[in-house]
Amino acid sequence: MSSQINFIAKNRKSFKTSRNILFSFKFALSGLVYCFNNTRNFRVQILFAFLIILCSFIFGCNLNEFRIIISTIFSVLSLELINTAIESIVDLKVKQNFNKLAKISKDCSAASVFLASINSVFVAAFIFLPKIRLLLFS
């Protein structure tokens, strides 16, 4: 028991919540940078986010449409970050061994990103198709 308490005391910083808000932002930014550098899907989603924001300026989206676009982008990116976190935790726990429950966990977290991505396509279609149709047929 004593050795376990010593282990916890030595590694206490990793279990502590930051009391400094700037450090909290630094840790959050570190997570974003990690995901950008190590996750192909996150980079692809960032690219599409920039393209969609550019399209919203080109097509002159109103403020409400722009709000919907931004919130949709953030929902996809947030779920991708959560997906990456879940996959990392599962990989840490199961290592190289196959585990059916680990597969279910990873598949379900990936499915949440997939559904948000499908939703983003619907949002883009509802916002941009009428604008494209108006541009082509007027």
Instruction: Check if 80 is active-site.
Output: yes
By the 8 A CB rule, do 68 and 119 touch?
A: no
Catalytic residue among 80, 83, 84, 113: 80
Long-range contacts of 7-11, Cβ-Cβ distance < 8 Å, separation of 24 or more: none
By the 8 A CB rule, do 114 and 48 touch?
A: no
- Calpha distance 100→97 (Å, rounded): 10
Burial of 110 (0-12, 13-18, 19+ CB in 10 A): middle
DSSP one-letter code for 18? P
Point out the residues that are catalytic.
80
